[in-house]
Amino acid sequence: MRTNLLFFLFALTFSSYSQDKYTISGYVRSAQTGEELIGATIAVRSLNTGVSSNVYGFYSLTLNEGSYEVSYTYIGYQEIKKTIELNENVELNIELKETVNELEVVEITDEAANKNISSIEMSVNKIDSKTIKKIPALLGEADVVKSILLLPGVSTVGEGSTGFNVRGGGIDQNLVLLDEAPVYNSSHLFGFFSVFNPDAVKNVKLIKGGIAPEYGGRLSSILDIRMKEGNKKEFTGSGGVGAIFSRLSLEGPIIKDKASFLIAGRRSYADVLAKPFLDDNLSGSQFYFYDLTAKVNYELNSKNRFFLSGYFGRDVFGSGFLFNWGNATATLRWNHIFNEKLFMNLTGYYSDYDYAFGVEGDDEDDFEWSSSIVSYSVKPDFSYYLNNKNTIRFGGQSIYYDFKPAEAKFASDGQTNDISLPEKFAMENGLYIQNEQKIGARTSLLYGIRWSHFSYLGEGVKQTYRDTTPGIRKPLESEEFFDKNERITSYNNFEPRLSIKYELDEVSSLKASYNRMSQYLHLISNTVASTPIDVWLPSTNNIEPQIADQIAVGYFRNFKNNMYEASAEVFAKDFQNQVDYIDNADIFFNEQLEGDLLTGDGRAIGLELFLKKNKGKFTGWVSYTISRSERQVDGINNDDWYPNRFDRLHNLSVVNSYELNEKWSFSANFVYSTGTPATFPTNRYEIQGIVLPHNVDNARNNYRIPAYHRLDISATLTPKKNENRRWKGEWVFSVYNVYSRRNPFAIFFEQNSDDPVVTEAIRFSVIGNFVPAVSYNFNF
C-alpha cells in the first residue's frame, strides 16, 4: 500500500503542472435503464482525441481551455453532442438514448464502431447478453461459456466438459470473474451449462493476450463478467421457460436514479417433470441445479457509489447418496471520485467453491466428505486521467485463501474415524502500475508492471520429498510443522506487460503485445474433463508457481464503414511449471499428494483469423484458429514433447444471425475442429483372463480421434403485440447437432462383454443425436 500512496502523491503533483488545462468528467448511462455504459466513446473530433468510459461508466477528458464540441457515442445508442466552454472543470453526466429501430443497428459488442482499430486492446473479445441469447444453444439455453467457445483462440477438450482452453492453456488458467469475484468452478451439470445467468449478465469480456497489469493470478485469460446494475428508471422483469431451466429476473429502482436492484434466478426441473414417472423407490432421488444472482447499487452522491452483488448456485444429485457442489460469491464495491481526474474503485469480495458427498447410511455405516476453497480479497484500483495522452492506473490486491482439500469421516460397522486432510492457507498479493499513453494521433502504448507475491502459510506441514526417477512416486523424506500464519514458503514474480498500437489509417491498425503472467493456484485434476470434485491447491515448496510468457502480434482492419471488422493475430506462448501426474496418481485423500505430482513445460503457438459483420439484418462472425499446444514432462511420453489433451490444430466457428422481419429471426452456427489427441495401445496381454492394453513405445497422445463438427440452428418468433402492452414474449425453437453427428469425445478400448477374447475400440459420444428444444422468453 505504501507504493500506492507514493504514486498517488506523485500523480497529484503531476496534475498541478497543467494550469491552463481543464477536465470534463462524469458518467455515461443509458437513458432507458440508467445503467452505466462500459466503453462508450467520448470524443473531440476537432482535436482527433477522445477517451472511453471505464467499466463503471466513468470518463475523464482533460483539454486546454477553449470551446469544444464533445460527442458521446455508443453502439446501439443515439449520439449526443455537447458544446462545452471549458474554462473550469466540468462534471457532465450523459444519458444516451437507445436507437429506436433495433433492426438497423444490431450490436454485437458495446463498442464504438471502429473501437477495434483505435483501441490499444488486442486479443480481446467482447460479447453482450443479446448476442449470447441469439446463438443457438443446447436445449435452447443461452450460455456464456459455450458462447466463448465460438471465439478465436478458444477450444475445449470436448462436448459437455467443464471450462474452456485459451491459447493452449489449461482450464485452470482462466481467471473467471463475476463482478470481480473469481468463480472456481463455472459449471452446472458437469459442464453442460455454465453458472452465469444470461439474464443477469451485462458484459462479457475475454482477454487472451496483451493482458494489462491490473489483472493477475492466472496464465491464459481473464473472463471478466459484469452483472447488470438493475434498472434505475422503472421496474422490469424478464424470464423464460425452457427445456431444462426456468428463469426469472426482476430489476428496478429502489430510489429512482439513486439506487436499484437486480435479482435473477434459475432452476432446472428435469426432476420435477420426471417425478410422476419414477418408481416409488426412485422417488427419493434428487436431481436439480439452481442459481441465484442478486445485486443492489446505491449512488450516495455524485462522488460515491456502492455496489453489492452476489451469486449462489448449487447442483444437487442424490439417490442412495447425496452429492452437491456450488459456488458462492459476494462482492462489495465502492466507486469514489477523488476529483475529476482520479477515480477509485475499491472491491472486497468473498468467493467459495465447495462440494459435499455423503452416503445415506445409518450410524453404523456412513461416509461424509466435503471439500472447499474459500478466498477473501481486498482490491483497490485507481485510474488517474493525467491528461488526454496519459491514463495511469495503479492498485493492488490481497487475497487470503483457505483450502480444505478433504474433510471426511466414515463409519464402518459402528467404528468411526476422521480421515480429513489438513487445511492449507495462503496469501496472494499484487501491486501494479500501468500507463496508457498516446503518442501522436496514431500510436499508443500501454506499459506497466505487476509484482505478485505468494505465501504458503501455516498452520501446516512442509513436506520434503526425495527425488526419484521422474514418473515414479517420490518418497517423503521429512516433515516440518509450522504454526498459524507462519510462512512455509513464499514466491514473488515481476510481471512486465507491454502493448503497442499503431494505426495505419482510419480503418486499419497493427498491434503487438507481450505479457508475463504468474499463477499460484493449481487445479488438481487428472481426468480428461474436469470433475466437480477436483481440488484447488496452493503453490507449496514442492509445487512451484506456474509462469507464462506470451507475445502476440495482430493486424486489424475494418471494411465498409465499419460494417465488417477483421483481425489476424499470431501468438506464441511459453509455460513453466505445469502440473502433471505420475501414472496411478492418487489425487484424493492422499496426504502425500505432492509426491505424486510432476512438473513440466508447455508451449503453444497459433494464428487466429476473425471476421465479423456488425450491422444489418445479417450479422455474425467467422473465426478460424490454427494452433498447437504441447507439453514436456519428465516421466511422461519418454520425456518428449506431446500434444495436450485439448490440442486441436484447426478450429472453425461460423456464427450467423438473420433478422427476417419484426416477427422472425434465425440463427445458425457451425463448428469444426480437429480431433483431440488420444493414447492408443499397440499390444494386448492377458492377466487373469483380463485383456489389457499396452503401448510398447510408452507414448502419450499418439493418435487423433476423428474431427468434431456440428451444426445448430434456431428460429425466434416474436408475435406481434399491442405496442402499449408491457408484456413481450418470444418463442425460440432450436435444434442442436442438426445432422445427429456422433462426435467422439474419446475413443477407448475394452473387452467385449459377451466374448472376452474380442477387444474393441469404442467411440464415446457425449451427445449422439440431434437435440430439439423449444423455449419461451418474456420481458415486462
Partner 1 sequence: MRRFIIYISFAFLFSSCEDVIDVDLDQGKSQLVVDALLTNDSSLQIIRLTKSADYFLNAPTPSASGANVSVLGPNGKTFAFTNTGNGVYTYDPSTNGRLDSVGFVYQLNLVYENKTYVSNSLLNPVPLVDSITYSFEENELGQEDGYYAQFWATDFFGRKDFYYIRAFKNGVSINQDNPSSLILSEDAAFGGNGADGFPFILPIRASITNGDDPFALGDISSVELLSMNRDAYEFLEQVTIQANNGGLFSTPPANIKSNIKAADGSSQDEVLGVFSLSSISKNSIQITQQ
Site for partner 1 in 281-300 (CB under 8 A): 281-282, 285, 287
Q: Does 272 bind partner 1 (CB under 8 A)?
A: no
Q: Does 183 bind partner 1 (CB under 8 A)?
A: no
Please say which residue, 129 or 525, places its beta carbon nearer to partner 1: 525
Q: Give Cα 561 distance to the centre of its chain.
A: 31
Site size for partner 1 (CB under 8 A): 92
Which residue has cell 459484469? 226
Q: Which whole-number Å values give the CA distances from 399 to 402, 462, 543, 674, in the listed order?
A: 10, 21, 19, 39
Of the listed pieces 145-153, 654-662, 689-697, 712-720, which binds partner 1 according to CB under 8 A? 689-697
Options 32, 71, 508, 765; binder of partner 1; rule CB under 8 A: 765
Options 470, 681, 729, 772; binder of partner 1; rule CB under 8 A: 681
Nearest CA-CA partner of 72 in 84, 85, 56: 84
Minimum CB distance to partner 1, residue 769 (Å): 5
Options 71, 435, 490, 531; binder of partner 1; rule CB under 8 A: 531
The C-alpha atoms of residue 225 and residue 164 are separated, in whole angstroms, by 15
Q: Give Cα 455 distance to the centre of its chain.
A: 25
Q: Does 616 bind partner 1 (CB under 8 A)?
A: no
Please say which residue, 101 or 584, places its beta carbon nearer to partner 1: 584
Q: Is 722 buried (19+), middle (13-18) or exposed (0-12) by CB count in 10 A?
A: exposed
Strand partners, 458: none
Minimum CB distance to partner 1, residue 372 (Å): 17
Q: Does 359 bind partner 1 (CB under 8 A)?
A: yes
Q: Is 67 buried (19+), middle (13-18) or exposed (0-12) by CB count in 10 A?
A: exposed
* Contact between residue 744 and residue 764 where contact means Cβ atoms under 8 Å apart: yes
Of the listed pieces 166-174, 330-338, 405-413, 656-664, which binds partner 1 according to CB under 8 A? 405-413
Q: Does 749 bind partner 1 (CB under 8 A)?
A: yes
Q: Does 704 bind partner 1 (CB under 8 A)?
A: no
* Contact between residue 59 and residue 112 where contact means Cβ atoms under 8 Å apart: no
Of the listed pieces 85-93, 172-180, 409-417, 614-622, which binds partner 1 according to CB under 8 A? 409-417
Tell me how crowded residue 496 is: count the other CB atoms within 10 A of its CB.
Answer: 13
Torsion of CA 676, 677, 682, 685, to 10 degrees: -80
Strand extents, DSSP E, 280-423 = 286-301, 304-318, 321-339, 342-359, 366-385, 390-412, 415-418
Q: Does 255 bind partner 1 (CB under 8 A)?
A: no
Please say which residue, 615 or 700, places its beta carbon nearer to partner 1: 700
Minimum CB distance to partner 1, residue 282 (Å): 6
Please say which residue, 528 or 570, places its beta carbon nearer to partner 1: 528
Site for partner 1 in 43-72 (CB under 8 A): none
Tell me how crowded residue 719 is: count the other CB atoms within 10 A of its CB.
Answer: 9
Q: Does 419 bind partner 1 (CB under 8 A)?
A: yes
Q: Does 316 bind partner 1 (CB under 8 A)?
A: no
Mask: binding to partner 1, 707-746, rule CB under 8 A, as x and -?
-----------------------------------x--xx
Q: Does 360 bind partner 1 (CB under 8 A)?
A: no
Q: Are strands 221-227 and 174-178 parallel, antiparallel or unpaired?
A: parallel
The C-alpha atoms of residue 135 and residue 619 are separated, in whole angstroms, by 11
Nearest CA-CA partner of 708 in 659, 755, 651: 651
Of the listed pieces 45-53, 230-238, 295-303, 580-588, which binds partner 1 according to CB under 8 A? 580-588
Identify the three-state secondary structure at position 673: strand
Options 694, 721, 726, 728; binder of partner 1; rule CB under 8 A: 694
Cα 596–Cα 600–Cα 601 angle in degrees, nearest 5: 160
Site for partner 1 in 511-530 (CB under 8 A): 526-529
Of the listed pieces 143-151, 184-192, 202-210, 291-299, which binds partner 1 according to CB under 8 A? 184-192
Q: Does 464 bind partner 1 (CB under 8 A)?
A: no
| φ, ψ (nearest 5 deg) of residue 82 | -125, 135
Please say which residue, 722 or 753, places its beta carbon nearer to partner 1: 753
Options 270, 292, 461, 713; binder of partner 1; rule CB under 8 A: 270
- Looking from the CA of 197 toward its CB, the CA atoms found within 13 Å total 31
